[in-house]
């Protein structure tokens, strides 16, 4: 005789923080990250990325001198605002994050993923503090703001949140490279391992950075994102 199956829903507080982060930042979370390459597809077309070494260099610049560093700083400040229940500051931070996107495609990349992340988290991982903050983010939401605010509202520690965000960012771009560039899975795995120490340092530094520390110097990537808009053949949205 078959016994009836009982569905047990654990309170969020009883779910380990690491498990929550793995779920939120996994490729299966419904944010559509697979559709974006953050300018990587154009870099392959232009010949900037042609092998493992050039991909590692390109990703290293994006991490240290480009948008990832900014994202980690923004996520940290969103985390802090969420823990304080400060919706007005969170809204202002979101406006700043969206304004930092240098092109239409990169704006779409962060705003679509952020909106999707926040909506998915509100639906699947509800908590009262996040629900109280949500009305302050009614429209487009920058991805790092959505992740930082959700983690802060759920009481997750900022250090692991930022480190996990950075790793997920790199893993997604390596996945894009496997589809667009002449590199294989073994090379992609080596690249992720090589960048892991840098991601750890960036996460630590971002926890102590103020908003005046925001800034990027990846001009070729920014210009490439404009050119990608009219690229003849492409498989990614950015």
Model pLDDT for residues 138-190, shown as the tens digit of each residue: 999 999 999 999 999 999 999 999 999 999 999 999 999 999 988 999 999 99
Distance CA 164, CA 74 (A): 15
Total H helices, total E strands in the chain: 11, 0
Distance CA 75, CA 83 (A): 12
Looking at residue 234, its pLDDT comes to 80
User: By percentage, how much of the chain surpasses pLDDT 70?
Assistant: 94
Domains of the chain, start order: 35-228 (1.10.4190.10)
Report yes or no: 105 and 221 within 8 Å, Cβ to Cβ. Answer: no
Q: Count of CB atoms within 10 A of residue 214's CB? A: 16
Looking at residue 186, its pLDDT comes to 97
pLDDT tier at 11, thresholds 50, 70, 90:
low
pLDDT tier at 13, thresholds 50, 70, 90:
low
Distance CA 200, CA 221 (A): 23
């Amino acid at each position: 005789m078959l016994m009836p199956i009982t569905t047990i829903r654990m309170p969020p507080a009883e779910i380990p923080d690491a498990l929550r982060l793995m779920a939120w930042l996994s490729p299966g979370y419904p944010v559509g990250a697979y559709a974006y390459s953050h300018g990587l597809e154009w870099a392959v077309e232009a010949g900037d990325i042609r092998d493992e070494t050039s991909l590692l260099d390109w990703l290293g610049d994006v991490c240290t001198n480009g948008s990832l560093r900014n994202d980690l700083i923004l996520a940290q400040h969103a985390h802090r605002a969420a823990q304080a229940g400060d919706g007005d500051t969170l809204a202002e931070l979101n406006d700043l994050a969206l304004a930092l996107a240098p092109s239409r495609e990169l704006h779409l990349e962060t705003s679509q993923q952020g909106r999707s992340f926040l909506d998915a988290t509100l639906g699947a991982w509800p908590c009262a503090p996040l629900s109280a903050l949500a009305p302050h983010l009614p429209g487009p939401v920058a991805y790092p703001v959505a992740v930082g605010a959700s983690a802060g509202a759920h009481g997750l520690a900022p250090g692991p949140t930022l480190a996990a965000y950075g790793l997920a960012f790199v893993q997604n771009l390596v996945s894009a490279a496997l589809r667009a560039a002449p590199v294989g899975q073994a090379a992609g795995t080596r690249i992720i391992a090589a960048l892991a120490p840098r991601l750890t340092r960036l996460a630590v530094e971002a926890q102590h950075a103020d908003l005046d520390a925001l800034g990027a110097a990846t001009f070729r990537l920014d210009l490439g994102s404009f050119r990608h808009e009219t690229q003849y053949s492409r498989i990614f949205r950015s």
